[in-house]
Homo-oligomer: A and B are copies of this chain.
Amino acid sequence: MKSFKIALAQFSPHIGNIEANAEKMQQLANEAKAQKSDLIIFPELATIGYPAEDLLLRPSLSKRTQLAFEQLSQVKDIVMVFGFVNQTEDGQRYNSAAVMKDGKILGIYNKQNLPNYGVFDEKRYFNEGHQHLVFEYLGHKFGVLICEDIWSLNTVQQLAQLNVETALVLNASPYEVGKPQHRVETMSALAKQMNLNLVYANQVGGQDDLIFDGTSFVINKDGAVAVQAPSFKETLLYSDYIGEQQSYQVTESSPTLETMAEIYQALVMATRDYVHRSGFPGVILGLSGGIDSALTLAIAVDAIGADKVQAVMMPYTYTSQISVEDAAAQAKNMGITFGIAEINPIVNSFMQTLYPFFGNAPADATEENLQARTRGTLLMGLSNKFGNLVLSTGNKSELSVGYCTLYGDMVGGFAVLKDVYKTIVFELAKYRNSISETPVIPERVITRPPSAELRPDQTDQDSLPAYDVLDAILYAYIEEDMSQDDIIAKGFDADVVKKVIRLVDFNEYKRRQGSIGPRISSRAFSRERRYPIINGWKAGL
């Protein structure tokens, strides 16, 4: 039995930029070769990146892919297995893997299982493949699978029956909480069941709302993890196959992350990739003295550095002194650019213009929204003038029930906490404080009762149930698809459940105009939960 070395390119493609991706893949292959690797495996659709959405339908795609193949043909003396879009002469399009050596294509595999649920739309773009690809190299029998294929017992069984020793699995598997560990555990059991070594290379990086965690790995056919790459980082991971032992060498792996660390790092990477790839020089956000903006600020600084982060406190009559102090303290702690802009004169001039229209109508949420929209407009003004991206700071609990102002605090290009429930916001804030010597978020921000400060002595719990109750109801309704009746049957107050569900349903129009934000849950809004705005579905059974 021969020994050999495999490289796993945990690679972050620039979506759509086929030219740049091919160049980077070439570099990685050459680097792997310099480290004496015999084979390098790239993620699913590595040439164009995942998900490229309707760019996959542009007529020049096959021409561009061809140019990428010419670029990759220049790599010598190493086998490359990489994902690409295979457009055949009969007009079919496949999500495929090529096996290439010294510029020759040794084989092409077309993905057989096309996910078309949740965040996936592969049947919009691709045809299904119907054939396995198996090749011998270095006296070893390899098979190729692409992402969803490895989750189909049928497909894997067929491959194993071809006496394949190692399945090379190309992936673009999106992150959600706990997914890295769930993947390894499932694959470990599968490897053992099928008596098959698994080499699993995953895309890494943030792409719009999707996060790819990487966490690539090699698992031996006995189920043991030979090696695992870190999450949320580009890496070239190596694994040695020891011929004598007929297994991949077990070496030290990156440690598995504890849940809050995992989420925090996911959000940091997503924010960094969005800012950098959208070409903004930095970010700006409104700091309110509350926990959402405090956590968003910490993530922004960890993502792109304090020198590229600007925050503005925009107090009004109802803003407490505590809020101004805490915001200023955190800004100072973190070493960012910070300014204060009083909004009273602007809000007052809005009021004066509107009074003749309002007549004797009593004050209501309208006046509160004016405060939020004045702040939004100020942030956008600063963004327009200096070019920084506005980060919005709302969380998933707020966005679910519409406890946020469209064109106000919802302003921004990237909503860092969009898919993070308020109860998790608290946990993340505590986690972030726990990893530095001195807390970056003032303690008081975490401990005082949350308030939007849009009315005197307001707290969030004037309008909403306690956040632990709210989040539990939301989770049941959104993530678990439970009905109103079933949630009430779990023991929650019926009126509270009805109100929460009514608010979630009603506020679809607001969410539809919100900015994108990184998905960390198993049911994020927008791409994954596609509800009509005009919606006559009645809550109940």
User: Is B339 touching A357 in the complex (CB atoms < 8 A)?
Assistant: yes
* Residue A305 lies at the interface, judged by CB distance under 8 Å to chain B: no
User: In the complex, what residue of chain B is closest to A59 when comparing beta carbons?
Assistant: B481
CB closest chain-B residue, reference A314: B353
Beta-carbon nearest neighbor of A485 in chain B? B60
A322 interface residue, CB < 8 Å from B?
A: no
B380 in contact with A541 (CB, 8 Å): no
Total contacting residues, chain A, CB less than 8 A? 86
Please indicate the chain B residues that have their CB under 8 angstroms from the CB of A535 in the complex.
15-16, 55
Kindly state the separation between the CA atoms of A535 and B103 in the bound complex, as whole angstroms: 28
CB of B382 within 8 A of CB of A407, answer: no
Which chain B residue has the least Cβ–Cβ distance from A48? B537
CB-contacts of A130-162 with B (<8 A): none
CA A385 – CA B346 in complex, angstroms?
19
The stretch of A247-255, A396-404, A510-518 in contact with B is A510-518
**Quick check: is A79 within 8 A (CB to CB) of the other chain?**
no
Given contacts A352-B345, A483-B60, whether A15 and B541 have CB atoms under 8 Å apart is no
Asked if A185 CB lies within 8 Å of chain B CBs, one says: no
Say yes or no: A533 contacts B366, CB within 8 Å: no
Query: Could you say which of B116, B207, B341, B386 contacts A532, with CB atoms under 8 Å apart?
Result: B207
Q: Mark A357-379, 1 if CB is under 8 A from B, else 0.
A: 11001001110011001101110
Determine the distance from Cα of A381 to Cα of B354 in the docked complex, in whole angstroms.
8
Q: What distance in Å separates the Cβ of A93 from its nearest Cβ neighbour in chain B?
A: 12
Does A413 touch B at the CB level, under 8 Å? yes
CA distance A413 to B511 in the complex (A): 12
* Residue A17 CB within 8 A of the other chain: yes
Q: Is A534 in contact with chain B by the CB < 8 A criterion?
A: yes
Residues of B within 8 A of A532 (CB): 15-16, 51-53, 55, 207-208
Judged by a CB distance under 8 angstroms, whether A436 is at the interface is no
Q: Which residues of B contact A385 (CB under 8 A)?
A: 354, 357-358, 361, 364, 366
| A345 close to B354 (CB less than 8 A) | no
- Segment at the B interface, from A117-125, A166-174, A418-426: A117-125
A123 to B274, CA, bound (A): 30
CB distance from A536 to the nearest CB of B (A): 3
CA distance A361 to B381 in the complex (A): 12
Task: Answer yes or no: A448 CB below 8 A from chain B CBs.
Answer: no
A-B pairs with beta carbons under 8 Å apart, 21 shown:
A14-B536, A16-B537, A17-B537, A57-B481, A59-B483, A208-B532, A208-B534, A278-B509, A341-B357, A343-B353, A345-B349, A345-B353, A346-B349, A346-B353, A349-B349, A369-B380, A373-B373, A373-B380, A373-B407, A509-B515, A513-B514
